[in-house]
Amino acid sequence: MIDFTDPTFLQDPYPLLNAVREETPIFEQRGDDGIQRWFLTRYDDVFRVLRDRRLGRVPEPIMSRSDVGLPPLRSDWGPYNDVEQWSLLMLEPPEHRRLRQLIFREFTPKRIEGLRPTIVDHADRLLSEASEKRHFDLLADFAQPFSIHVIAELLGAPIEDWSRYLDWSHRIVKMYELDTTDDQAESAVRASDEFASWCQDLIAERRAHPADDLISGLCTVETSDGRLSDSEITSTIVLLLNAGHEATVNSLGNGMVSLLATPGAWDSVRSGRVTSRTAIEEMIRFDPPLQLFERWVLADGVSYAGRDFARGEKIAMLFGSANRDPRHFKDPDQFIVDRGDTTHITFGGGIHTCIGAPLARMELSVALERMTAMMPDLRLAEPPIRHPAFVIHGYESVSLSAQSVVGSP
Ligand code: HEM
């Protein structure tokens, strides 16, 4: 029903997503990976599935891979399977609860608010450098280094390696698409191997010389089940470094394109009529950076969108479609800069709700605040080109120009 590789669809998926959602709340489609999925298109169903404990991100421990028709894990993907094994995203209770509680302590709104001065400094420095160019790329010149510096600082990861995290992460997240090619899979496996051995060295170093940072905390913490294993720590570092920037970078790119393309929206934020905290909620609702998440049905009696599901079936939730559902949002295809509605699906919900949401919101609002202050006449310099991928939804580059630049205080 939807060709997720069609370049026209990828450039702007919303006309087709809207048409399909209005025609049906659910449709069935087999992916290139051979998996049959039931796609949910409407807000209420996606909202409820995210919170339904009868569904899981992975079949285990309730069912096995073979119960749900999955082949055994590919042995030639060993390093990738290893880094995914203890990723929070791939765990269900009780392991999920144990790891999430440890990480959550570092991501409370209070702890994140304390990072504000550092985040402002990074934004100011990078914007000053970017403004020296006639046109700058919002993603490569600002959003990527900005977001990576912030997450690396929070974790205590050596910042001089930032371009390596970026490369590893870009290659690994290709595995989350619906149409990953063999070449992309092979590259993701190699990236996982390199990333994991880099983590091993870092873990050894922090065990020997603990610092006051999240990675040292993970290396030394004593829980009621004992210390975390090296595999658990490695998966957590990889997840936090990847999740900690990919979606934030694309949120800023997608959001700034929407904001600058909407007459009057930029001026409303620049003049202070709309706060950046309010504006970013619409930026992430209107064009979310992660378009699809999946769940396995792990119990009997599950029913959504008028269909009864059998155990072992797979549900795919279309986040961008849910965020444009007129049953929940008024005029959903309008970018309304002061809408300020935080009930969008963008950060998920239920036990896997984004742990980094307070950090992402802080980064996005600081970036917007500093751009409006330092580059008051910022505008799109060229029509931006989309990345040819659906799940991780963003631009290749977003070229901007600013005539006048106000120095940071
Ligand atoms: C605008 C930026 C971001 C968006 C849109 C976003 C979105 C999401 C979503 C939708 C999920 C839930 C996945 C699911 O239900 O299956 C998630 C999980 C997660 N996110 Fe984010 N994220 C963002 C930024 C961040 C940042 C900055 C971090 C920081 C480290 C982060 C860390 C995580 C982690 C660790 C999980 C797994 C939580 C769990 O499984 O319990 N995210 N994110």
- 330-389 pLDDT tens trace: 999 999 999 999 999 999 999 999 999 999 999 999 999 999 999 999 999 999 999 999
- Whole-number Å distance, alpha carbon 246 to ligand 1 midpoint, is 10
For position 408, what pLDDT does the model report?
A: 60
Helix, strand, coil shares of the chain as percentages rounded to 5?
50, 10, 35
pTM attached to this predicted model: 0.95
**Alpha carbons within 13 A on the beta-carbon side of 184:** 14
**Helix spans in 222-341 (H):** 230-243, 246-261, 265-270, 276-286, 319-322
**In 3D, which of 216, 264, 234 has the Cα closest to residue 106?**
216
Please work out, in degrees rounded to the nearest 5, the angle formed at the alpha carbon of residue 165 by the alpha carbons of 226 and 89: 50
- Whole-number Å distance, alpha carbon 407 to ligand 1 midpoint, is 33
Q: Which distant-in-sequence residues (6+ apart) come within 8 Å of 267 by Cβ?
A: none
Residue 147 has pLDDT above 80, yes or no: yes
The radius of gyration of the chain's CA atoms, rounded to the nearest angstrom, is 21
pLDDT in tens, 217-265: 888 887 777 788 999 999 999 999 999 889 999 999 999 999 999 999 9
C-alpha–C-alpha distance, residues 371 and 358, integer Å: 20
Q: Which atom of ligand 1 is nearest to the CA of 319?
A: 10
- Whole-number Å distance, alpha carbon 355 to ligand 1 midpoint, is 6
Residue 317 has pLDDT above 90, yes or no: yes
Q: Which amino acid is at 373?
A: A
Does the C-beta of 346 come closer than 6 Å to ligand 1?
yes
Q: Which atom of ligand 1 is nearest to the CA of 88?
A: 40
Q: Which amino acid is at 157?
A: A
pLDDT in tens, 257-272: 999 999 999 999 999 9
- Whole-number Å distance, alpha carbon 243 to ligand 1 midpoint, is 6
State how far the alpha carbon of 96 is from the alpha carbons of 91, 245, 269, 316, 346, in Å: 5, 22, 39, 21, 21
Does the C-beta of 352 come closer than 6 Å to ligand 1?
yes
Does the C-beta of 261 come closer than 6 Å to ligand 1?
no
Length of the chain measured in residues? 409
